[in-house]
A and B are shown apart, each in its own frame.
Chain A
């Protein structure tokens, strides 16, 4: 939806409201009770038009309608009655509003219309006791003063009013909002006002907070976090570098005992004991009502063990550590990082081109130095990509809440177990993984884990387990969503697939293949469509999301014992180590991590391979795919062909190619939408020579060839 659509809604809506307004005016009968309701409706119509017109910036409409509304407000309040003259005036105002709206929506209103606004406005003004000020311009919010303060430590003191909770305000929500303005470095919760349990009213708020906030926002923005409670709460904001005097006057102003607050400020690291002492002593000297024999606060704190010297030292040490680590961590924008990674990508290509030239030149020294350069580029590439990796734990722990809420909603008892939380992967992948994972976890909870009675009947523990695992596995990341529930029912899935026409009656695929059917669009076996899953967003969406990340997803299951969905993803989206092969006149890249070995295919073996579609490789049957034929490549076939053995998710196959060229580090350039249907390619790359090579998508290629095999067999 966009604003234009909303504007269309407004145009329709305002026409209806103007009709209501007209009907109301014409329907006024002189019967006080009936007229009161009509006048209310008339007022509301004008009021709503003014409010909505403001949304779309139709200022002329707002300005004029505001005057009409003001007159109607007086009528509503009984300060003015609608006589025949006013009724006529209001009716012409109504027509004028209609014209204004149409004109404003089409562009700027013509001058003649605005003149008429002014004329009608003057007539309306005579009905107002005090002339209404045209408010449209005044209602524009003032642009916030641009923060000029540098990043600094603010101190925020809040004592919430007792009615805050009853007013629907949540102190925690406001602290969280404060956290969006910067980094909350320290929070001390003040529970001094909490009464003994017997007197405690659970609906009253007794809390106060002392917050240290590192932020570059301005004072108004920070204080505004509490704007909705300001009237009944005490909010004080101290600017960074405001000096210890400001803190000391704050201590005096706040309701809690001075030494208590002093301790908190010490712990927060905003004051040093010396500052506190000096300040309070000085203040007391000025204070005529000084209590004789009062000791400096800092001494008292330490002497009375309010704060142990060690604690003070620890607080100070922590403070200096915090200052130290500020320098060790640098925050940078994600776009800067992306730019760096793009550049590293180009560097990788350029370095590959250089080393290719060097090899052609047969200059040993040049080759050696380009090799050294290449090794460095590889290191740079790895550490650049590493900058963008994040542990998956953060994403995983989000599911604690999902599991908690859903299991409660469904009356199931479920535990979430996380493994491999510190497995790192590319941030852009993590972000796009959250939705498919949520879907899988919901599915596991909703369809996987059985109700408690059913579990007990099966001899399982009453408490179900959902596991999220992550690990590295030969150049990819494997993420599993596992449950110890019902398991998948292969027969039911097959039956459903036949019913949906996804499977022919005579096909009897393996259990593994049947499970894959649930990723087909429009497939859902849930008997009852529950609130959670089965909302028409099926596993096919999960599969598509994973495939968009160049990953694969697979189901395995044991009836009655549980289901495991494993997602296999590349480590990064940007760069791969590839192996360059030639097929006809073209060059292709095979991802190196999916390659097992290369075998020369000569003489009789080659013709045998061509005849059978497989070869005997050290006693194992290896299915083959002749890329020359598969791609209908131009150019002559080599007499001696080569075989590249690839491995994907436990499945091995041989790709027959014309030439082996060699290892090649490559930056993936995405293919355009035109190639969306070509599932056997995952991208393209630019070679050192400037030629374009397509990157083979091994899972896609294998799926294509086995599909072709089945069609050929059928």
Chain B
């Protein structure tokens, strides 16, 4: 069965390109438009990985990671932060909440796929 990945980004085109890249590589994807939406989409489902933007309305990426780490069912799910934020302080904030994998936008599909494969091979 294909591995399932949750994509959280407020940009529909970004979600579309990420989903397209992952689908072509053999992953199943579920999309959410911000942290709140993503928390709703968890709903006990198994996700092998989450790809999360940082700047989003309602609940931002770091808030989402914090919430996921508090949820016993998802606390060990790998999360890749996919963001234009390349600054060290943002990264440090991310590390503090437990987000280690950082991929900077704009990304090249092979780059994203390699990052994802390190955490969950298709």
The reply to whether the CB of A405 lies closer than 8 angstroms to some CB of chain B is: yes
Name the contact of B83 in the complex, choosing from A51, A165, A173 (C-beta under 8 A): A51
Whole-angstrom distance from the CB of A232 to the nearest CB of chain B? Answer: 8
Bound Cα distance from A48 to B117, whole angstroms: 25
Residues in chain B near residue A174, CB distance under 8 A: 118-119
Given contacts A5-B16, A44-B10, A48-B10, contact A176 B1 (CB under 8 A): no
Q: Could you say which residues of chain A place their CB within 8 Å of the CB of B20?
A: 1-3, 6
As a 0/1 sequence over residues 83 to 122 of chain B, the CB contacts with chain A under 8 angstroms (1 = contact) are 1101000000001001111001111100100110111110
- A41 at interface by CB-CB < 8 Å: yes
Q: How far is the CA of A13 from the CA of B106 in the complex (A)?
A: 17
Give bound CA distance, A5 to B17, whole Å.
9
* Cβ contact within 8 Å between B13 and A165: no
Known A-B contacts A48-B10, A168-B78, A169-B78; the reply to A54 vs B84 at CB < 8 A is yes
A50 interface neighbour in B19, B23, B84, Cβ under 8 Å? B84
Complex alpha-carbon distance, A56 and B69, angstroms: 33
CB within 8 Å for A231 and B83 given contacts A44-B56, A173-B119: no
Bound together, the chains give a CA A401 to CA B108 distance in angstroms of 33
Main secondary structure of the interface of A (DSSP, over half): helix
Question: What sequence of 0s and 1s flags, for each residue 36-78 of chain A, a beta carbon within 8 Å of any chain B beta carbon?
Answer: 0000010110011011111111000010000000000000000
B: contact size bracket: 35 or more
Contact present for B105 and A55 (CB under 8 Å): yes
Flag if B121 contacts A62 (CB, 8 Å).
Answer: no
Chain B residues whose CB sits within 8 angstroms of the CB of A10 once the complex forms: 11-13
- For A226, list chain B residues within 8 Å (CB): 118
Asked whether, in the complex, the Cβ of B119 is within 8 Å of the Cβ of A169, the reply is yes
Q: Are B100 and A6 in contact (CB under 8 A)?
A: no
Contacts of B120 in A (CB 8 A): 170, 173
Q: Which residues of A contact B69 (CB under 8 A)?
A: 166
CB of A190 within 8 Å of the partner chain: no
Q: A180-B121, A402-B1 are in contact. Are A9 and B55 (CB under 8 A)?
A: no
Q: How many residues of A contact B (CB 8 A)?
A: 47
**Does A228 touch B at the CB level, under 8 Å?**
yes
Q: Are A167 and B84 in contact (CB under 8 A)?
A: no
Contact among B55, B79, B86, B101 for A48, CB-based, below 8 A: B55
Provide the residues of chain B in CB contact with A169, threshold 8 Å: 78, 100-101, 119
Judging by beta carbons under 8 Å apart, are A51 and B14 in contact? Answer: yes
The docked-state distance in angstroms from the alpha carbon of A75 to that of B93 is: 20
B117 close to A141 (CB less than 8 A): no
A9-B16, A13-B13, A62-B106 known; A168 and B76 CB under 8 Å?
yes
**Interface presence of A571 (CB below 8 A):** no
Instruction: State A52–B13 Cα separation when bound (angstroms).
Output: 7
Are B105 and A177 in contact, CB atoms less than 8 angstroms apart? no
A225 within 8 A of B: yes
User: Among the listed A12, A52, A53, A225, which residue makes an inter-chain contact with B118, where contact means beta carbons less than 8 Å apart?
Assistant: A225
Which chain B residues border A231 with CB–CB below 8 Å?
A: 95, 100
Q: Can you list 17 A-B contacts (CB < 8 A)?
A: A2-B20, A3-B17, A6-B20, A7-B13, A9-B12, A9-B13, A10-B12, A12-B12, A55-B13, A55-B105, A167-B98, A167-B99, A168-B98, A173-B120, A173-B121, A177-B117, A177-B118
Closest 4 CB pairs of A and B: A54-B106, A10-B13, A168-B78, A6-B16
In the complex, besides A48-B10, A173-B120, 9 extra interface pairs with C-beta distance below 8 angstroms are A1-B23, A3-B17, A9-B16, A44-B57, A51-B106, A55-B17, A62-B106, A170-B119, A226-B118
Chain A interface (Cβ < 8 Å from any Cβ of B): 1-3, 5-7, 9-10, 12-13, 41, 43-44, 47-48, 50-57, 62, 139, 141, 165-170, 173-174, 176-177, 180, 224-229, 231, 401-402, 405
